[in-house]
Amino acid sequence: MNKPELLSPAGNMEALKAAIHNGADAVYISGKDFGARHFANNFTHEELIEAINYAHIYNVKIYITTNTIIYENEIKEFIEYLKFLYINGVDAVIMQDIGMISLVKTLIPELEIHASTQTNNCNDEVLKLYKKLGVTRVVLARELSLEQINKLETDIEKEVFIHGALCICYSGCCLFSSLNGGRSGNRGKCAGPCRLPYTLIKNNKPIKTNGNYLLSPKELNTSKYINEILNSNIQSLKIEGRMKSPEYVGFVTKMYRELIDNHKTNQTEKDLKFLFNREFTEGHLLGKQDKDLMNIKSPNHIGNEIGQVQSIKNKIKIKLTDDLSQNDGIRFKESKKGLIVNKLYNDKGLLINSAKKDQIVYIDNKIHLTSLDTVLKTTDFNLIENLKQYNKKQMPVIFNVIAKENQNLQITITDNKYKITKVGNKIQKSVTSPITKENIIKQLSKLGNTPFMVNNINVEMDDNIFISLKELNELRRSLIQNLIDEKTKINRNTFNIVIPKIEGKQNKDININAFVRTENQLKTIINKVNKIYTDDFNLYSKYKHNNVFFRVDRTITKLENLKNENLLLTELGSVNKYPENNNCISDYFLNIVNTHSINFLKSKNIKQITISPELTLDQIKDIAKTNNDIEIIIYGTLELMIINHCIIKMNDNCPNCKNNKYYLKNKQNELFPIITKNCKNHIMHHKKTNLINNINKFKELGITNYRLEFFDEDEKQILNILDKLKE
């Protein structure tokens, strides 16, 4: 049975220590910039060094998340940051930006890189691409099942999430927060639009659903299936939670440590629910869907149900179904009001510290509750306090002592990786106070609050010799410090970084390209645009000789063998497989925001690169100076996310998606169209991008390829748009 690495999160030093001392093999953290959890506390440069050294003392690895897309004007700072991490001993960095991965493997080849789940890793071809680049590990898409993972053949380390918050969208495929709120998930600043309420609209009429949080998944928890996971083709098991408390990190780490080592755990699901719980799911890893995947009633931590309100006067009367203590946090389920129980009263009105199941208690109505509500406990004060206390991990060491008369005392310490020897004073024959073997063992065993524990002490000594206890203590302290120094020593020299300049040629011919969804749209623009894109293979096959391109699925798990086709590529596995035998260009789904990413795609024989719609005019200017056939989207309805779940199937009859129009409506009454393809939902933007009036600014930058993304436009509307563009 496989024994994979247990990888835990930490948003601060307290969480890092909790992870280490509760059994993590590795911990992933972030600096203040370039990490996909921008709003976690994260680590300063000084704290990063401290964290790396602290972890290495305990034989724990540190991975740093640098998994955002990197804008052109940030490249120098980003590379210098990775240089800083490398020379300070980081074990690996986790990255998303393909241009930066390629560049870093050139500039700092010995730095270990893990490809983030943000790169949407769904198939063997993307694994092959990363292996060629020198990437050592790939964090697989959360949407893959164990069965699919076990079929991946590429010899590269595979990492999966086993616990924590789930994104409903394929990671790296989400523009929802960016285009609808100005906070990019690809920059670590996601505003969490999937945790907001929506109404499902069918043909302009709302559908009644059993909750309003239609994009909110449950919390991932695979603990019941640990044996299946341990028997899989996975090398690292990852816990999500860099925004979570140290107590949560410690608890969940210990739970999975026990499960990996012993296939059972003493940690209870009840306590886990008090720490954080949106209800639990085994997720796509175990093939869960619909109600087994989603909690559309609540997007927040719901805790455990512990009672029912009986009456309300000056105080709230509660009949308990579970224990409640002073300083616990509670929330009332229907009203969604919450409070900390500062004062708890029994049925005689006396203050008490705690109460048991089936008791009647009273609390002050400081939230003005009016309904006979269900009571949820969301914070267990005593549990949190207990979790703050944990036994510190101690690393076993062996002492070897040679104590011979008329020879210098020699003591060696080893942890089976490092071996350090200290030589003391010449040993004399004892006149009155000979030292015993027991005395030596006793003194060397006094490791106190050090990170070490004695595994064995071997003593080879003469009889009737004298060694002072002071000397033994001094040698022990010196050996321990030297061992710490060895475990934290970095054998990486500093070096100069020279970032290569990307040279490109300017094109003169203006090209208008368009994406279409229907045959009528395609017929309308034939001979009026340069390239036509479609994701309908039958439509493509019928018209491909009219410079039509087929948009390849961006969540594809197995790539077909294609030859002599025109392809619009949407994910990196396709970039690895198709350009050799096909005419390929790349889509905006690849999140291309810098010249090095453009250069990488060009090196793979990609003829034209569509840049990210997240870029501002100034950022486009930064990369357009080396125009390598880049394309920008100047009009259309953009896709915000793609999800491996069907909102319509869960909340309406399947397969109604084929004959009806569905939308998500938010509180601002904005309508987001839902397109269903292969039982996956594509959530579209509620408004159309329109940069046609900026066309002259783009032309001044030397951009010559412009795309229109048609959605529901009819012939007249399309022709009007083309006329406006020509003007």
DSSP 292: G
State what percent of residues in the chain have pLDDT above 90: 89
Cα–Cα distance measured from residue 509 to residue 530, given in angstroms and rounded to the nearest whole number: 11
SS3 label, residue 521: helix
SS3 label, residue 157: strand
Tens of pLDDT, residue by residue over 542-575, are 999 999 999 999 999 999 999 999 999 999 999 9
Domain 511-726: give its CATH architecture. Alpha-Beta Barrel (3.20)
Cα–Cα distance measured from residue 55 to residue 195, given in angstroms and rounded to the nearest whole number: 34
Q: Pairing state of beta strands 609-610 and 630-636?
A: parallel
Task: Decide which of 42 and 687 is more confident.
Answer: 687
314 falls in which pLDDT band (50, 70, 90)? confident
> Residue type for 104, please?
V
Instruction: Determine the average pLDDT of the residues in 358-383.
Output: 96
pLDDT at res. 657: 78
Tokens for 119, please give them.
Answer: 């790169």
Task: Decide which of 509 and 642 is more confident.
Answer: 642
pTM of the model: 0.95
Tens of pLDDT, residue by residue over 587-609, are 999 999 999 999 999 999 999 99
Domain 304-387 has CATH 2.40.30.10: yes
Instruction: Determine the average pLDDT of the residues in 144-160.
Output: 97
pLDDT at res. 236: 98
Q: From residue 530, how far is each of 53, 510, 552, 705, 708 by CA, in Å?
A: 57, 9, 19, 9, 11
pLDDT at res. 509: 81
Tens of pLDDT, residue by residue over 637-647, are 999 999 999 99
Which residue matches tokens 């083309």? Answer: 722
Give the count of beta carbons closer than 10 Å to the beta carbon of residue 74: 18
CATH class of segment(s) 5-166+217-286: alpha beta
> Residue type for 591, please?
N
pLDDT at 300 over 90: yes
pLDDT at res. 128: 98
Maximal CA-CA distance, the chain: 111
pLDDT at 506 over 80: no
Length of the chain: 727
Cα–Cα distance measured from residue 629 to residue 697, given in angstroms and rounded to the nearest whole number: 17
Tens of pLDDT, residue by residue over 248-267, are 999 999 999 999 999 999 99
Tens of pLDDT, residue by residue over 114-141, are 999 999 999 999 999 999 999 999 999 9
Tens of pLDDT, residue by residue over 54-106, are 999 999 999 999 999 999 999 999 999 999 999 999 999 999 999 999 999 99
CATH 3.20.20.380 occupies which residues in the chain? 5-166+217-286
pLDDT at 626 over 80: no
> Residue type for 329, please?
G
Average pLDDT taken over every residue of the chain? 94
503 falls in which pLDDT band (50, 70, 90)? confident
pLDDT at 470 over 80: yes
Task: Decide which of 37 and 518 is more confident.
Answer: 518
Which residue matches tokens 């197995």? Answer: 558
Tokens for 453, please give them.
Answer: 């524990």
* Termini Cα distance of the chain: 67
DSSP assignment string, 177-236: HHHHHS--GGGT----GGGS--EEEETTEEEP-S-S-TT-B-EEE-GGGHHHHHTSS-SE
Tens of pLDDT, residue by residue over 256-299, are 999 999 999 999 999 999 999 999 999 999 999 999 999 999 99
pLDDT at 40 over 80: no
DSSP assignment string, 445-494: T--TTSSEEEEEEEEEE-SSEE--HHHHHHHHHHHHHHHHHHHH------
Cα–Cα distance measured from residue 244 to residue 10, given in angstroms and rounded to the nearest whole number: 8
39 falls in which pLDDT band (50, 70, 90)? low
